[in-house]
């Protein structure tokens, strides 16, 4: 096992920074009843001691944690099964909530595959993961241009949190990921979309769920 190995992104790869992770690493895992996509927001309310400690450590070290979809189990308890593909999350904002708990906002970064995991004495799940390649940037095809416009209208109405993250309404990967996270489809369908490594295939997968929008 190796630690995170910086690897320069190939030309055309979808990444807001210039460095992608490669190889394998140990990553603290946060199993949730949600699917996080690269470039997407994730607001969380932290109250379990194991996750409070994890978040403090991530904030201190500037390191990410991994989000995986729960297959069997509960968020506040034991998870017996989770998806094998997840997304790393980096904390971009934090605040104290009215009830005194820690609130954070995270941004999805890079997909990974969970090769194995173990549970620490404090209950935190830690996985040995392999970083998956970044998707290549691809322009939004003309036949899907309306989807970029749809998102430009919809996202500000859904949540102010989208204003905290970069937007790419003309890029197929970004548009397909945002659609997958906001459309009212099952978590299983969202996970299938996450595991696709081709943005155009993801757009085709989502097309049947999108109703035409009239001006």
Residues 126-171: tens digit of each pLDDT: 999 999 999 999 999 999 999 999 999 999 999 999 988 999 999 9
| Topology of domain 5-131, CATH | 2.30.130
Residue ranges of the chain that CATH labels 1.10.4060: 142-209
Over range 86-114, report the average pLDDT.
94
Model confidence, pTM: 0.87
Residues 106, 119: contact at Cβ < 8 Å?
no
Question: Range with the lowest mean pLDDT among 3-12, 14-23, 172-181?
Answer: 3-12
Over range 4-14, report the average pLDDT.
36
3-state secondary structure of 88: strand
Task: Compute CA 39 distance to the chain's CA centroid, rounded to the nearest angstrom.
Answer: 7
Residues 173, 194: contact at Cβ < 8 Å?
no
67 is written with which tokens?
Answer: 């989000």
pLDDT given for residue 101 in this prediction: 87
| C-alpha–C-alpha distance, residues 120 and 47, integer Å | 18
Over range 189-214, report the average pLDDT.
89
pLDDT given for residue 33 in this prediction: 95
Length of the chain in terms of residues written: 215
Residue ranges of the chain that CATH labels 2.30.130.40: 5-131
| C-alpha–C-alpha distance, residues 63 and 202, integer Å | 29
Tell me how far CA of residue 52 lies from CA of 40, 45, 48, 121, in angstroms: 22, 10, 6, 15
pLDDT digits (tens, 9 = 90+) for 55-88: 999 999 999 999 999 998 888 778 878 999 999 9
pLDDT given for residue 19 in this prediction: 65
pLDDT given for residue 2 in this prediction: 27
pLDDT given for residue 211 in this prediction: 72
Task: Compute CA 110 distance to the chain's CA centroid, rounded to the nearest angstrom.
Answer: 7
Class of domain 142-209: mainly alpha
Question: Range with the lowest mean pLDDT among 14-18, 116-120, 208-212?
Answer: 14-18
pLDDT band at 213 (very low <50, low <70, confident <90, very high): low
Residues 119, 91: contact at Cβ < 8 Å?
no
| C-alpha–C-alpha distance, residues 93 and 87, integer Å | 18
- Selection from 175, 153, 154 nearest residue 166 by Cα: 175
On the CB side of 36, how many CA atoms lie within 13 Å of its CA? 28
Query: For the packed helices 172-182 and 187-195, what is the interaxial angle rounded to 10 degrees?
Result: 160
pLDDT digits (tens, 9 = 90+) for 10-60: 334 444 443 688 899 999 999 999 999 999 999 999 999 999 999 999 999
């Amino acid at each position: 096992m190796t630690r995170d190995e910086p690897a320069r992104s190939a030309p055309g790869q979808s990444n807001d920074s210039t460095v992608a992770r490669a190889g394998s690493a140990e990553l603290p895992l946060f199993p949730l009843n949600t699917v996080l996509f690269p470039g997407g927001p994730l607001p969380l309310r932290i109250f379990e001691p194991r996750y409070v400690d994890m978040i403090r450590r991530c904030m201190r070290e500037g390191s990410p944690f991994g989000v995986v979809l729960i297959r069997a189990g509960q968020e506040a308890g034991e998870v017996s099964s989770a998806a094998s593909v997840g997304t790393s999350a980096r904390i971009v904002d934090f605040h104290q909530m009215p009830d005194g708990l820690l609130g954070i906002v995270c941004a999805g970064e890079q997909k990974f595959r969970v090769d194995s995991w173990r549970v620490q004495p404090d209950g935190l799940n830690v996985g040995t993961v392999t970083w998956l390649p970044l998707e290549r940037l691809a322009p939004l095809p003309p036949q899907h241009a309306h989807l970029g416009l749809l998102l430009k209208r919809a996202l500000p109405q859904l949540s102010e949190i989208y204003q905290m993250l970069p937007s790419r309404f003309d890029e197929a990967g970004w548009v397909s990921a945002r659609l997958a996270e906001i459309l009212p489809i099952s978590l299983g369908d969202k996970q299938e979309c996450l595991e696709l490594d081709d943005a155009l295939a993801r757009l085709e997968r989502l097309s049947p769920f999108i109703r035409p929008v009239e001006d």
